[in-house]
Structure 1
């Protein structure tokens, strides 16, 4: 598979990665041949890049961080919970009658079991989601990233569950904000930002009413927009006064947001998002947690387009957790931009003088 911009997609291209809708259902499955109508629909639904198979990359297969089945079940539950709360006029009062704790512990256990079954914990979030589904899939991505960091830190089973539940529900307060605001495509006014900022407190109030959700999980909702230097909200907490779970979720939240297509923001590559986090270490984010996170993220995911310092172009065909910056690159074009009749691969772990100068 290889990544292409949606405007480069052509009728007849074969989709290499599933595309999901808001509730977790597959809208277009990998293996489908694209038509002009499909491509037009994907553009209209906010899809900016897709993964396709061609004769040079058909054997490069995605390695999802969590299985499609687990993802679909988790997104479906988040979708049901959030839409019910959005639609229910008396949601804050009614939420106490729900049992979110047990339901979301079960969901996160499935995510955790899948993570533990993998050979490595490498985070490779290549799932494609239409724009209306971002809110729901984002929570599952954040929980997946948080779970990897929690495992890397050696958290106990109970700590992992509390972190996971908090991560799945960290943005639940957004259901109490007018949907026109958080779905707005253009820039927000200062007053609109002030209104949206209250979602952290709304979320905390919703979660602390639950008998089976720990205070640690509730603090994920309250503090995920606090920043390490005290510049965040709602209380301008700083450093160790921000719960560690919330510091983890802040990193996961920003990384997934930066690498996802958004109507109001440029989509960044994983290596660009990683550079941003590093630059903000111990100012906006906990640098020790960032270092832990970066050990487990695929900086150059499979199918990423690469330009080398030699001028050759290709796609990432294999990645190694212990060498995140040195993948195997399948060379498809020479420095003149001509497509090679016989592509070849370069293992950057062995070619120390060859470096990646661009990735997209």
Structure 2
């Protein structure tokens, strides 16, 4: 099985996993052959990647960290947030109970996330580097980013090992909603291809306070979630915003979420730049360890995060191209690669595997299905 961005799937490809609705009903069954119309509709629904059958990778098993029903429940709630509090709706004009109505779905969804993650038999975190095409709308961008952050922050907190369920709920909800203030920013600023002017940047920097205002008095949403929304751009050396807080002035959850947010921003493309390869993004975190981010948090990230998830297509420095087939738990950044194409771009009749933890002279240079074309 392989992971492909939905927009890069082609008619005739067969699904490797069933797609469910938020009610648990089958939307598209496993092994169904895709059509152009199906691919377009799935993308419009916000489904950003698909599991695809491939005879060369039949033995590669990809475990989704949460059930599709859980993902769709949270996606639906996040979409409603975007609709109610987007740039065309004023925060102060929203109905007093409009967010509270959604809070119960966030809490239910977060409880499901914890249950789903606890069923896994390993402690590694599969950071999503899957969406190597720009989302087709700002709503999709907001939704997929919130889900990724929620899953990664919660699983990493589980790997740390000292948090009880209530604390995991608080961390997960904080990571799910930390960037909610961004939905109130003008779309032309979020989608601008050129560098921001000073005044535009000042407007962008208001989104932590917007998020704090939305979350601070919501029943069912922990107070720390509002604090994380306010502080996720603060940095331990005082260089962040909106208040230039330092070290222990920043809530630990906000420091954690801020580090993950920086990594997520680096590995995903923007309208004005390409995505940074995960290994270089990890180096950027280390460059900021002790100044921007807590060094212990960066180390935990390095030791428990699989920055190249199983099933991901990659290009190697040797020119060969293939798919991540196994993880090395003692060297999470150097997985096993099943080579499917040689340096000349020819399909191999007999694919073979390279263990990058043993071949230190070979590195991953590109990720994403476009590397396999």
TM over 0.5: yes
Q: CA deviation at 1:103?
A: 3.8
Contact 1:105 1:164 in 2 (8 A): no
Contact 1:162 1:216 in 2 (8 A): yes
Q: CA deviation at 1:213?
A: 3.1
Q: CA deviation at 1:140?
A: 1.3
Aligned to 1:163: 171
Helix, strand or coil at the partner of 1:332: strand
Aligned to 1:151: 158
CA 1:185–1:336: 2 relative to 1, 3 Å: closer
TM-score (norm 1): 0.82
CA 1:72–1:229: 2 relative to 1, 3 Å: same
Helix, strand or coil at the partner of 2:305: coil
Aligned to 1:72: 72
Aligned to 1:139: 146
CA 1:188–1:33: 2 relative to 1, 3 Å: farther
Give the aligned CA root-mean-square deviation in angstroms: 3.8
Q: CA deviation at 1:111?
A: 0.8
Contact 1:45 1:131 in 2 (8 A): no
Say which of 270, 283, 292 aligns to 1:275. 283
CA 1:216–1:297: 2 relative to 1, 3 Å: same
Q: Does 1:189 align with 2:189?
A: no
Contact 2:234 2:245 in 1 (8 A): yes
CA 1:66–1:152: 2 relative to 1, 3 Å: same
CA distance in 1: counterparts of 2:212 and 2:299, whole angstroms: 28
Alignment of 1:238-249 (within 5 A): 238-249=246-257
Alignment of 1:7-18 (within 5 A): 12-14=12-14
Q: Does 1:177 align with 2:185?
A: yes
Instruction: Render the CA deviation track for 1:76-102: whole Å, top value 9, x for unaligned.
Output: 111112311227845335464242554
Report the count of equivalent residues. 356
CA distance in 2: counterparts of 1:192 and 1:331, whole angstroms: 46
CA distance in 1: counterparts of 2:226 and 2:286, whole angstroms: 27
Aligned to 1:108: 110
Helix, strand or coil at the partner of 1:63: coil
CA distance in 1: counterparts of 2:106 and 2:70, whole angstroms: 13
Contact 2:17 2:51 in 1 (8 A): yes
CA 1:76–1:29: 2 relative to 1, 3 Å: farther
Q: CA deviation at 1:247?
A: 0.9
Q: CA deviation at 1:236?
A: 0.9
CA 1:31–1:260: 2 relative to 1, 3 Å: farther
CA distance in 1: counterparts of 2:50 and 2:222, whole angstroms: 39
Unpaired segments of 5 or more residues in structure 2? 368-373
Aligned to 2:371: none
Aligned to 1:296: 304
Contact 2:66 2:116 in 1 (8 A): yes
Q: CA deviation at 1:201?
A: 0.9
Helix, strand or coil at the partner of 2:55: coil
Choose 151-160 or 5-14, whichever is displaced more: 5-14
Unpaired segments of 5 or more residues in structure 1? none
CA distance in 1: counterparts of 2:74 and 2:44, whole angstroms: 26
Aligned to 2:236: 228
Q: Does 1:318 align with 2:326?
A: yes
Q: Does 1:259 align with 2:267?
A: yes
Q: CA deviation at 1:225?
A: 0.9
Helix, strand or coil at the partner of 2:56: coil
Q: Does 1:118 align with 2:120?
A: yes
CA 1:269–1:27: 2 relative to 1, 3 Å: farther
Aligned to 2:370: none
Contact 1:47 1:261 in 2 (8 A): no
Q: CA deviation at 1:211?
A: 4.0
CA distance in 1: counterparts of 2:30 and 2:325, whole angstroms: 18
Contact 2:129 2:308 in 1 (8 A): no
Q: CA deviation at 1:332?
A: 2.5
Contact 2:49 2:130 in 1 (8 A): no
Contact 1:48 1:261 in 2 (8 A): no
